[in-house]
Amino acid sequence: MALGVRAGKRTGIRLSLSVTFFLLLLYTAQTALTIYLVVDKFKKAELIREQKLKIGELEEKVRLLEVIKEFKVGLKEGEIRELTDLIWSKSKAWGIDPLLILALIKTESSFLWKAESYRGARGLMQILPSTGEWLARRKGIRWAGPYSLYHPTTNVRLGLAYLFELILKFKDVKRAIIAYNLGENELRLRIRKGERLPTRYLNSVMENYRLIMKMAQNINS
């Protein structure tokens, strides 16, 4: 009888261990499945977010391209796309609305890539040959003489490099825009003297900015 009891106890213990192991295995499997589902859901949500972001970026680029076309710039389709990509990528890198860059170009040259001022500034962003060569050398931008300023993307690349440099120096977009037209040294001199800063050029840029935003909204609708 005693032997039977011991055997029963041993069997009971053996069954308990088996059940415990099975339950532990089941719990592990359920936990793994839960983690997989959570991770899978997170990955899908992240993928959806990335796709929405890419779609939003594409829509912005298309809108930017269409606005440029509206100004009848006289450039080939490939040149317009290249210009669009340049303005969009550089603007986003600096956290500036690309439409503001278009407003600056509109103010400077009315999108006439062959434009030349009485002072000799050339191209879309009206850059002096001496300034263009200086910027190209410092920024590692290909320079083939003053005629390079009539190449739309080269001109805008140089102009944006100069504008973003001014933004860093003055820590203010509006002052940078004023300096783009007035000159960095002249603006600093007026600031030191406590003189009122000229706003005529800035006002023109902002007026064109409002105009271009309306154009973009109409294209979007």
Q: Is 97 left (phi over 0), alpha (psi -120 to 50) or beta?
A: beta
Least Cα distance to 175 among 205, 137, 213, 133 occurs for 205
Least Cα distance to 215 among 106, 132, 75 occurs for 106
pLDDT exceeds 80 at position 25: no
Instruction: Return the pLDDT at 69.
Output: 85
Per residue in 152-186, pLDDT (tens digit) is 999 999 999 999 999 999 999 999 999 999 999 99
What number is the average pLDDT over the span 141-154? 92
Quickly tell me which residue has 């029963």 as its tokens.
8
CA atoms within 13 A on the CB side of 95: 4
What number is the average pLDDT over the span 84-110? 93
From CA 160, how far away is CA 153, in angstroms rounded?
10
**Contacts made by residues 196-202, CB under 8 angstroms, sequence distance 24+:** 201/107, 201/177, 202/174, 202/177, 202/178
pLDDT exceeds 50 at position 8: no
Residue 53: pLDDT band with limits 50, 70, 90: low
Instruction: Return the pLDDT at 3.
Output: 41
Q: Which two tokens stand for residue 155?
A: 């001109």
Neighbours of 131 (CB within 10 A): 15
The pTM assigned to this predicted structure is: 0.75
Instruction: Return the pLDDT at 4.
Output: 41
Q: Look at 27-31, 123-127, 141-145, 209-213 and tell me which has the smallest mean pLDDT.
A: 27-31
**Right CATH for 2-220 from 2.60.40.420, 1.10.530.10, 3.40.50.2020, 3.40.309.10:** 1.10.530.10
Helix (H) or strand (E) holding 182: helix 173-182
Instruction: Return the pLDDT at 7.
Output: 45
What number is the average pLDDT over the span 118-140? 93
